[in-house]
Structure 1
Amino acid sequence: MKHAAFTLAGVALSLSLVWTSAQAEALRVAADPVPHAEILNYIKKIDPKLDLKVVELTNGANANELLANGDVDANYFQHVPYLKDQEKALGKTFAVAATVHIEPLGIYSHKYKDFKSLPNNAKVAVPNNATNLSRALFLLQAQGLIKLDSKFTDPATTLATPKDIVQNPKHLQILEIESPQIPRSLDDVDLAVINGNYALEAGLSPAKDALGLESAKHNPYANILVTNPQLANDPRIKELAKDLTSPQVAEFIRKQYNGSVIPVAPQS
């Protein structure tokens, strides 16, 4: 009995040491450079006891594949509709740890100052991934440039494609391009629908430069902190989630991005 008791005590101590060791390891979080990595680097300053290792996404790296393979512990770059699409594609289930901010999708042009000036057969660059393509089409519809089939009512649950356009009075040519490349296409197209983070990286101010901008109200595309289910209760994940949704970080987002990134957390 004594031997069994010592054995159980040894196992408990071993598990405790493993858990303590895991807590001491740096939390690896994959993030887009702007604004996600910037926000995480701000958290490193205000919460130094949380050992964060920010892995900036470059060269088209898939942060959900990195997470699924265990190369990172969490990622912060995407919204829920995109995550759901990725879960289907990868055959994986992830866990949402925090809902942080909204980056309104915007329509930009280097050639025109308003939609009235837009000529017939204008070229419009849109994201080529399913969720953001649909999101772009809903935004073009909101600006009166196209009309989608009436069955497309909820942008978060019904994914539209160019085939679902039923009215296109200016005969817009919809060009599907990889999201990070769209800002570079601005001189080659008439309009470009650009995700907020890529607009910021390109030196655009969505709140000032966009000809049309998504409404933040009831927006289903809030950016989230995502992890694997087995890490959902990890104290480091919980600490980061608490920081990301804190009034202090919300205030940083408001001041840093002037309406181009909008915190979901309440004002302090």
Structure 2
Amino acid sequence: MKKVLKLTALSAVSISLLAACGDEENNGAADNNNGGADVNEENNTEDAAEENNGEESEEAAEDSEPLTVGASNVPHAEILEFAEPLLEEEGVELEIQTFNDYILPNEALADGEIDANYFQHVPYLESQIEEHGFDFVNMGGIHIEPIGIYSQDYGSLEELPEGAEIIMSSSIADHGRILMMLEEEELITLEEGAGVEATIDDIAENPNDFNFQDNVEAALLPTAYDNNEGDAVLINSNYALDAGLSPTEDAIAMESADQDNPYANVVAARSEDENDARIETLVEVLLSDDVREYIEDNYEGAVVPVED
């Protein structure tokens, strides 16, 4: 009987020990599990942080990418070159790509080869959007380039003979401003309401029987003048300056460049980039007092800054 009791007591002790060991093992496993959870939580936090940092780095990289702007050689590229260090102070690196016509800068912008362009006035931009379906936006007007009338043989508009040949740009967007200019000089009369969209067909009265030739590309107008083609040639100031002409000294008449002039040259961008901080900064710098002073000092009325 005593032996049975001893065995029973021993069995009870053994069971207690086993139970205690089991509890320790379970507690250890729990601790291990908690440790694993902590590690997983740390890993997830680190992964999230790395992902956020990656996104921020990517955004920062985009913001720091150079801003490529297409421009005519004169005066647009010159103005951009002056503005380049001012932009750098604002954290924008500028790259300038020059063009010598009115077609390629918009095609390059549409194809994403450049981020913005600076060469065209508002009516031309609007006509290109309508004709080609470009998804562009006007980011802001910068300056006006008055068109000048140049002649090798005559010193004033009053001297132009009856039947004089007048050579003008083949760009339809320029016809309205040219014809309104001639109307202001009382050389022709346009149909009522013709305005900026006027064409040669809108001439109501032509008392001097001028012969208008509108088949010369704008970039070739200085060449036509040099070759003494026609009695008078109307040349955009950018091409006149690029050809070494001084609009304020060599032209026998110039278009008015007051702030009501609708032909301000603008910075254009794709609509998707309308809120691009780099382009917004570009426009702000181009409208700054520093750039305004540069334009006034260097072009002496051949290029007129718009009022901000």
- Alignment of 1:124 with 2:166, yes or no, is yes
Aligned equivalent of 1:163: 201
Moved more, 100-109 or 248-257: 100-109
What are the residue-to-residue correspondences of 1:60-209 with 2, within 5 Å? 61-152=103-194, 154-155=195-196, 159-176=197-214, 177-186=216-225, 187-209=228-250
Moved more, 76-85 or 112-121: 112-121
Structure 2 letter corresponding to 1:201: D
Structure 1 letter corresponding to 2:238: N
Tell me if the contact between 2:87 and 2:282 (Cα under 8 Å) persists in the aligned partners: no
Q: Normalised by the size of structure 1, how large is the TM-score?
A: 0.91
Structure 1 letter corresponding to 2:70: A
Deviation at 1:30, TM superposition (A): 0.2
More helix, by proportion: 2
Count of aligned pairs between the two proteins: 262
Over the residues paired in the alignment, what is the CA RMSD in angstroms? 2.0
Tell me if the contact between 1:111 and 1:190 (Cα under 8 Å) persists in the aligned partners: yes
Structure 2 letter corresponding to 1:65: E
Deviation at 1:5, TM superposition (A): 6.9
Deviation at 1:115, TM superposition (A): 1.7
Deviation at 1:29, TM superposition (A): 0.2
Return closer, same or farther for 1:164/1:59 CA change in 2, 3 Å cut-off: closer
Deviation at 1:209, TM superposition (A): 2.1
Structure 2 letter corresponding to 1:225: V
Return closer, same or farther for 1:60/1:83 CA change in 2, 3 Å cut-off: closer
Give the unaligned 5+ runs of structure 2: 1-39
Give the unaligned 5+ runs of structure 1: none
For residue 244 of structure 2, give the secondary structure of its aligned residue in structure 1: coil
Tell me if the contact between 1:29 and 1:52 (Cα under 8 Å) persists in the aligned partners: yes
Deviation at 1:166, TM superposition (A): 1.3
For residue 47 of structure 1, give the secondary structure of its aligned residue in structure 2: helix
Tell me if the contact between 2:102 and 2:120 (Cα under 8 Å) persists in the aligned partners: no
Aligned equivalent of 1:31: 71
Structure 2 letter corresponding to 1:181: L
Return closer, same or farther for 1:172/1:63 CA change in 2, 3 Å cut-off: same
Tell me if the contact between 1:143 and 1:212 (Cα under 8 Å) persists in the aligned partners: no
Tell me if the contact between 1:105 and 1:136 (Cα under 8 Å) persists in the aligned partners: yes
CA distance, structure 2, for counterparts of residue 120 and residue 137 of structure 1: 17
For residue 14 of structure 1, give the secondary structure of its aligned residue in structure 2: helix
37, 61, 82: which is aligned to 1:42?
82
Structure 2 letter corresponding to 1:198: Y
What are the residue-to-residue correspondences of 1:184-263 with 2, within 5 Å? 184-186=223-225, 187-217=228-258, 218-263=260-305
Structure 2 letter corresponding to 1:32: S
CA distance, structure 1, for counterparts of residue 50 and residue 139 of structure 2: 33
Return closer, same or farther for 1:254/1:58 CA change in 2, 3 Å cut-off: same
Moved more, 1-10 or 225-234: 1-10
Structure 2 letter corresponding to 1:182: L
Deviation at 1:12, TM superposition (A): 3.8
Name which structure has the greater RCO, CA cutoff 8 Å, separation 6+: 1
CA distance, structure 2, for counterparts of residue 34 and residue 241 of structure 1: 18
CA distance, structure 2, for counterparts of residue 72 and residue 111 of structure 1: 43
Post-superposition CA distance 1:71-92 (Å, at most 9, x none)? 1000001111111101011212
